[in-house]
Structure formats: C-alpha cells, structure tokens
Structure 1
Amino acid sequence: MAKAWTAEQLAEESVRLIAWNQHVRGGYTASPLFAHYGYGWLRDGSFTAYSMDLSGRHESAALFHEWVCRIIERKRAQIEDLISRKSRGEYIERRDFLHTRYQLDGRDDADSEWGHFQLDGYGTWLWGLSTHLRMTGHSSIPASFRSAVDAVYAYLEAFWEYTNFDCWEEYSEFVHPATLACIYGGLQAIAELSGSGKTPALCEHIREFLLQHAIHPDGYFVKSLRPLYPEGRVEYEFGLDGVDASLLWLCEPFHVFEPEHPAMQATIERIGADLRTAQGGVRRYAGDSYYGGGEWLLLTAWYGWTAWAQGQWETAEETLGWIVSKADELGRMPEQVPDALVNRSGYEDWVNRWGPPASPLLWSHAMFVILHHHIRKSASQRQAEG
C-alpha cells in the first residue's frame, strides 16, 4: 500500500530531497533522474534556494548564490562586451548571450538541445539573493556579491526589451510579461536592499510597458508580445493572446501588480477559468503540447500562493492538498501529471521519446515548501489573533 503523506511530512521530505541533490559547488540539480534536466537553472535554483531559506537551511541557499556569483564573475567580460556591442548598434547572435542553465559545477552547458538566451533567471537570481540576504540579517549587499550584482543589473538594463525564450524555453521571437516580472522583481529587490528608497526608473518603465502593451481588450495580461518595426519604429502586437500560468509572477513574488489591480485580478481569474482543471491542478497554457499539456505541480502551488496573498485560505489549502496527493510512495514529486488529459496521445508520444515526466523535480518540491510555509505561518498568526 502506498504511503499516505501529510503536508508536514512531505515538506520535511522535500527539504531533505533538495539537500541531497545540491552539488558540492552549490548548483541544484533540476531533476536527478531525468537526463535532460541534469543541469542547474538560475530561475529554478533561485526559488529552490528561497524554499531552503524559509526552512532555515540558509547554508544551502548561500551555497547556491555563491555558485551563481562565481558564474557571473567568470562572465563579466562577456557581459561588458555584449553591452558595448549593443551601444555600437551591432547585431548580436542569440548564442552570444549568457546561458540560462549551467553544469552543476558551474561550467557552461554546451550539449542540451534547447535555446539559451533567456533573461528570467537573471532577474529571479537578483530577487532570490536579495531575499536571502535580508533573511540572514544583511542590510546591504556584501562586497563578495557586489560586482556580480552590478554586472547582472547592467545586463538586464541593456537587454530587458529583447525577444528571448520564455520560462519554458519556448517562443524566442516574443517578449514575455512573465519574464519582465522577473526582471522587475530583481531590480526592485536590489534597489530596496541598497537602501535607495526609490523604485528604479526601469521598473517604472516595465510596469508602464505592460500596462500599455500587454493587456488584452478583455482586461487580462497576455502570454506574449510580438515586436514589429514599421518604418524604423517599434510597435507591439499580441504574439499569444491567451494566459500562461507564469503570469502569476506579476503578482507573487515580484509584486509588479497587487492582486487587487484590475488587470491582475482579471488575469488570475482567467488562469483559474482556462488553466485550472476540475481536479484542481494548473496547466501551463492552452495548446501546450509538452507531455500533452498536463497539470504542473509547481504552477498549482503558485496558484495557491496567489490565493494565499488574496486571503483565500480555502483555495490555498486545496492546492496544497492536491499537490500532496501527487507525491509517490517515496515522497517524490513530478513536474506534471496527465490525470486530467482528455486525449493521452501527445503524452504517450513524449513518454516514448523521453520516458515519463521528470521526477523528482526540485522546483516542484521547492514550490510546495514555499506554499506550505506561507499557509502554516498565516494559520499560526490567525490562531494567535484569536
């Protein structure tokens, strides 16, 4: 008989699993048993480090951030060259930009088949580092991180508006609001830690850019934007005009918009209507073909996190319970499950090609830990208040 996990047990098991799958140099393995995910992603890893910080495992988070810092220090000359080439108006090939994932010891990934130019991880790392530093008693950025932070900040300032791969390594020809949320969140977090007391001008510009270009006539933020260049000027049209569950990042944790903002509220509602299944899981986006477009545990956790931010305790608890139900007898959580698929042919095609979906996926475990922490903290506060 399969083990029935409680949320508390699964949170503890998740922390242990994450610790077991952290390289001695600091990188977190995205999925140790899935060959295609045997790398460390800056985006996934930053949220994984955050989950470890919330669990009191600050040494694990510190090791990850030091791993990223060493990578950036090695890339500083490349960043400076890229910015210089942009200032001269030179065309830059995608392969020349920084990578989105690295070998666990920090070396470049030169073997995987996905594209590399992806900005979300670098913004997320700035946010994650800032959060880690605040949680460990720092009121400013230590000198050991300063040059890496400055390099990433400059890189994002220079290239934030460039088309690049979205967080799923897809649609490189578009600009993605979820990616802009990561950039906004990172720059804002660094500014707050630096004590400037001001929202960076670029953050204000990103927010206005989203309000001007990324809101559908029905009131919600769209998945992607396509830049057009008529007569030498730039304009934007909707590239993909549905919602993607990653748009929740505009709310949590990057706070580009509060959940009460009309467009954010409309987006959350649209995600619930279009991407949340009757079983309670959340899909990436309509038309997703990766393993048939199943329900993703980490996105279900994000939906619960956003519900928690709105004070919707029952919905947050429901999502937590759904995730618990998807852990196997060893407490391992997959990337996605096919339970709600009407047609499993696309799923079977991917299984035949790559095997079952990645499991365990550290990002799934991390997001579960994050949601579990916030729910339990709020429950304790409400109980204390009577």
Structure 2
Amino acid sequence: MAADPPTTEAAPGTRRAAVDVILRHQHPGGGYPACPAFEVYGYSWFRDGAFIAEGADRAGAPDSARAFHQWCARVLTSRTGRIEALVGTLRSGGTPASGDWLPARYTLEGDDEGDTGWWNFQLDGYGTWLHLLAAHLRRRSADPAPYREAARLACDYLGASWNTPCFDWWEEDSHRRHGATLASIEAGLRAAPAAGLVEGGTAERALAAADDVAATVRREGVRDGHLVKWMGEGGAVDASLLSALTPFGLAEGELAERTLAAVERDLLHEGGVYRYLDDTFYGGGRWPVLSALLGWHYARTGRTEEARALLHWIDGQFTRDGLLPEQAPEGQRLAPGREAEWLDRWGPNATPLLWSHAMYLILADELGELDSAPTRGPQA
C-alpha cells in the first residue's frame, strides 16, 4: 500500500506555507494533480509535476519531491516494452501510430487517461523531468541508481523523437516544433549523463541528440537575434521560451538577452506575464507561473529588485484561502471578449494551480525569501 503523502512543517504567515497546498493534494502514490478542483486538470503531467516537485523540494519537503520522481520512474518502467517498440520504430525510419506515443499526462494512479478526446502528445515533460530530477539528486546528494532504468527509457525516447511535431506547453499547435519543448529536451538529455542517470552508449546517444537539438534551434528557431515560438516560421515569442534561458540554459549570451527583451516587450505587463499575444484562453490573462519564471531568470542574472517585484506581484494574486490561480483574476486581458466562453465551458479559472504554487516557491527560494511574510496580502 502506498504511504500517506509527505508532510512538512511551515511557519504560518510565511511564503514557505504555500507548500502545504501542494502536500495536501499529492496522491499517496506520488503524483500531483495539476488542479484538484478543476475537473479537466485532475491528471498528473510530467512537466507540471517536475516543477511542482522542485518547488516542494526547495521548500523543505524532499520526501514529496522524491515520491513524485519515483512515481515518474514507475510510469516509465511499467511501459518498457511500449517505449522500446516505439523507439525501434523511430530508429528504423518508421512512423508510430498516434496511439503509440507516450501521453503528456496520466491519472494519479499512473494509468493512461483513456480516450477522452483531449490532445495528449507532448515531449517537453520528459525532458523537464530528467533535468529537475538531476537537480533533486544533486541537492539531496541522492543515489541515481533507482532511476537509471527510467532515465534510460526517457533518454532513448527523446533521442529518437525530439524532432517530431507535438503539442506545446499549452496543448496547442500539434503540427509544429516548439522552442520551449526543444529547450526542455536538450536540457534533459544533457542532465541525465551529468547526473549519472545514464552511462555508456545511452549517454553518448543522449549527448549527440542534445547537440542536434541545440543546432536545430539555433538554425531554425531564431529570428532577429531572439528565439521564436515555432521552428522555421514567424517571429512571435511565447513566454514559455523563458525556460530556454532559466532553468534549461539552451540560450546564453546575446541570444538570451535578445529573447528576454522580446518577451519583456510583448508579454510583460504591470508585473504579470502573458503567454503569447494571440492568447484567448479565459480571455488571455497573466500567469503567476510565467511571472515566477521570469523572476527566476532575473534572480539568476543579478536583477534582484526586478525579481523581487515579480514575487510581490504574485503575493497579490492569492485568494483569501491562500490559493494561487492559473491566471490573475484581475487586470487587463488580451482578449476580454473570449473569457465568457471558457467560463461557460469549464467554470472559474483553475484554483489552486499547484504549478503556480511551485513556481512561487522557487522564486522565493532564489531570492532567499522563503521564510519571509508576503509583502502584499491576499486579494479580496
């Protein structure tokens, strides 16, 4: 029988207390629901979950992070035959059937969700998991051995599939290759060998694939000196590209500076960050996740006061119950006329979004403010 979800002691009134929401909703088996109160977000994504585990780990709940990483390892190793067959098809030049690809999300028990009719093929989560698993292992001086088989499967899968169009972070644009997706894959393929998660031929193939990913992004995913949303077309940016700077590190130097400037110019507004300019989801509001991602990069690059301002903006997005939503409930929207259709379809904005809580904790930790009280109280 699975153990009860891990717990931690957090001082009331501090930012660290935000981890309690994460721990309260973690499944006994280790999976995190994206949002426990939002019907269609009741699944566990590798991407969201890896960031959630990172936030929990930084906030003093390593058992929670470990439980999630173990859950991911079980999900992968229980599908060994499926993954190896898929990789074999790709390496031989074949085309997998649509149902052969690994999904982006699973039930909290680790099962495929079944035929819900909701798009589910994304590659970024597996690279994100490898990258943040490696960070967890370093932070806790933990043995990589229990994860090696799962990491081998993930590396082989990503190494064979990375150039395949798939859905992006937002479950959109399945026919394109996305800058943020490729950045996560490149980071995961480099992190696994560095952390001792894969060795020998698997490590060599992973690093060779990472080099190919990076070369492709620089060749096809740069316009006017900055990263763009999609490979080979247009000049639009997406705030998910911030991950290519921090934490994934694909973009450095002038490329990182120009990408940051483009995101700031187009998507940063009064402390909050939009996903992309054509966003209509719930009217296209600003996302605490993305504000924290930008703040994380600011903190890493010495722009401390700007990072702190973003943290303070997120402080103001908490509900009276201490919950962070997916989108800021107030403020300018990019497409305000499109909000009602989503309210009619799915109800109010997803709250709490555990990913929002996690990114808030990561930013607070980067600034050394986990034990501080929020500087702005929760909204009415």
Instruction: Calculate the TM-score normalised by the size of structure 2.
Output: 0.89
Asked if the contact 1:54–1:373 (Cα under 8 Å) also holds between the matched residues in 2, the reply is: yes
Tell me the equivalent position of 2:4: none
- Matched residue count: 356
Q: Aligned partners of 1:56 and 1:378: how far apart in 2?
A: 10
Q: Deviations over 1:87-116 (max 9, x none)?
A: 333222222100100000111111544212
Equivalent residues of 1:97, 1:116 under 8 A apart: no
1:302 is aligned to 2:309: no
Matched, 1:156 2:158: yes
Give the letter for the 2:333 counterpart: L
| Structure 1 residue 76, shift from structure 2 partner | 0.8
Q: Give the structure 1 partner of residue 186 of structure 2.
A: 184
Separation (CA, whole Å) in 1 of partners of 2:316 and 2:370: 22
Pick from 334, 340, 346 the counterpart of residue 348 of structure 1: 340
Report the identity percentage: 38
CA shift at 1:349, angstroms? 1.6
Runs of 4+ aligned structure 1 residues displaced above 6 Å come to: 195-199, 377-380
Q: In 1, are the aligned partners of 2:167 and 2:174 still within 8 Å (CA)?
A: yes
Is residue 2:267 matched to residue 1:275? yes
Q: Give per-residue Cα distances to partners, 1:52-93, cap 9 Å, x unaligned.
A: 111121110111011111110111100111112223332222
Alpha carbons 2:14, 2:371 under 8 Å: kept: no
Alpha-carbon distance in structure 1 between the residues aligned to 2:87 and 2:335: 47
Question: Partners of 2:283 and 2:321 in 1: how far apart?
Answer: 25
Residue 206 of structure 2 is aligned to residue 214 of structure 1: no
1:220 and 1:264 in contact (8 A); partners too: yes
Letter in 2 for 1:108: D
Q: Calculate the TM-score normalised by the size of structure 1.
A: 0.88
What residue is the counterpart of 1:245 in the other structure? Answer: 239
| Alpha-carbon shift at residue 141 of structure 1 (Å) | 1.9
Corresponding residue number in structure 2 for 1:31:
35
Shift, 1:133, TM fit: 1.3
Match of 2:222, SS state, is coil
Letter in 1 for 2:316: S
Instruction: Say whether 1:339 aligns with 2:325.
Output: no
Give the aligned partner of residue 284 of structure 2: 293
- Return the offset for 1:378: 11
Aligned residue number for residue 376 of structure 2: none
Counterpart residue number, 1:229 = none
Which residue does 2:313 correspond to in 1?
322
1:132-166 CA deviation, whole Å, 9 max, x = no partner?
1111113x521x21111101110000001111111
Q: Which residue of 65, 78, 86 maps to 1:74?
A: 78
**Unaligned regions of 5+ residues in structure 2, if any?**
1-10, 373-380
2:105 maps to what in 1? 101
Q: Give the residue type in structure 1 aligned to 2:192.
A: I
Gaps of 5+ in 1: 1-6, 226-236, 381-386
Say which SS state the counterpart of residue 323 (structure 2) adopts: coil
Q: Is the alpha carbon distance of 1:342 and 1:129 closer, same or farther for their aligned partners in structure 2, counting shifts above 3 Å?
A: closer
AA in 1 matched with 2:228: V
Q: Deviations over 1:338-369 (max 9, x none)?
A: 51126522112211211111000000000000
Contact preservation (8 Å) 2:184, 2:248: yes
Cα RMSD over matched residues?
2.2
Q: 1:368 to 1:112 in 2, by over 3 A?
A: farther
2:144 to 138, 141, 144: 141
State which of 361, 372, 375 in structure 2 corresponds to 1:369: 361
The answer to whether the aligner puts 1:49 opposite 2:53 as a matched pair is yes
CA contact (8 A) 1:130 1:193 kept: yes
- Partner amino acid, structure 2, of 1:249: S
> 1:116-131 counterparts in 2 under 5 A?
116-131=120-135
For 2:351, give the aligned amino acid.
Answer: S
Q: Distance in 1 between matches of 2:289 and 2:258?
A: 21
